[in-house]
Every structure is written in structure tokens, then in C-alpha cells.
Homo-oligomer: A and B are copies of this chain.
């Protein structure tokens, strides 16, 4: 393994350690030494990768943003391929949350809590998320000649629901995920119905 790859690997360990540790008390409670220790390097070695903790923080936000964009791309493709589109999207969300719990913990926690820098950065990403959902819904509504006036509001409401209720996935054992997904889907359907989407009969599981 070459030198750049070695460096990259250490860098990843730092990032992952920061994510894992921030789950306990929030990112704001982390210390540089703690992260370095967890990553198996000296405290001073930290500076070969980041200027300070804030810079690491920005990288974490980018990481969250990236995952969020992958998520919406995934949800969109599932969205087109099959019926039960809400279900497909919600399940995509839950898959991601379950795959990268640390990232989602950071996203959910720092969005409303953390420092100002964190909040504005994350808000930007979630606004993008809302905008894309809004576009998808609008395209669908136009195709079916339904009114589109309520759609931006519906999109924002849906994202609020999915993030807030969906946060539970992080503390639920796997076998209860399905029930949680059903609940979210039910709630999203209420919003869609309120916004004028005629829903196919909800399928029982």
C-alpha cells in the first residue's frame, strides 16, 4: 500500500471515530485527543489531516450531504420502477438510516441542536432534499392533471415527518422496523391525500 492510501485510511479512521463518538453526547462534546486516541494515532498526528475540530466538522457535514443525495437518488429510482411509491421511498430512507446510523444521528442531532455553522449547513442540505421531493411530486401531479399549489408545503411536511418519526429507527430493534415504516407511510399518505393526490388503496402487509 502506497503512502497516499495509508494517509487516506488514517483520515477515514478519524472521521469514523468522530462519528461514532459524537453519538454519545453530540459533536460539540468531542475532544481532539479523544478522537485521535480512538483512531489509534497521537493527538498531534491529528493536525496532519485537519486544521482543527471545526474543519473535521465540515467534512462530516459533507459526508452527511453526500449520503443524503445518494439516498434521494435511490428513492427516486425506486420511485419510478414500482407501485407503492411512498413505501419504496420510506424504505430507502430506513435502509440508509440503518446502514449508517452514526451519520443519521449526527444529521438529526445537529440539525436543530448543534452550533450555528452546523445548523445552517444541514438546513441547506435538507432544503435541497425538500426541493427535489417537491419536483418529483409536481411532475407526478402534472401528469395526472392534478392541482400543484399545495405541493411545496406537502413536500416540507413529508420531510418533517420522515425525519422526525424516522429517527426512531436508530433505537428500535430490527424486527420493529417494518411497523415503524408502516406508520410513517400512513402519515405521509395523509399529507398526500390532503394535497389532492388520489391514493391507490393502501396495501396490507
Seen from chain A, the residues whose Cβ lies within 8 Å of a Cβ on chain B are 24-29, 105, 108-115, 119, 150, 153-154, 156-157, 159-161, 163-165, 167, 171, 183, 186-187, 189-195
Contacts and interface: CB of A to CB of B under 8 A. Distances in A.
B25 A153 contact: no
A162 to B, nearest CB: 9
Nearest to A113: B109
Contacts of A194: 189-195
Contacts of A161: 157, 160-161
Contacts of A157: 157, 161, 165, 187, 190-191
Given A29-B29, A112-B112, A157-B187, 6 more contacts: A24-B28, A109-B112, A153-B187, A156-B183, A190-B195, A193-B194
A4 B48 CA distance: 55
Given A113-B26, A114-B26, A156 B187 contact: yes
A161 B188 CA distance: 11
B112 A186 contact: no
28 contacts: A24-B28, A25-B26, A25-B28, A25-B114, A26-B29, A105-B112, A108-B112, A108-B113, A109-B109, A109-B114, A111-B112, A112-B167, A119-B171, A150-B186, A153-B186, A154-B187, A157-B157, A157-B161, A160-B161, A160-B164, A160-B187, A161-B161, A187-B191, A189-B194, A190-B190, A191-B194, A193-B194, A194-B194
Contacts of A164: 112, 159-160, 163-164
Contacts of A165: 156-157, 160
Given A156-B187, A189-B194, A115 B163 contact: no
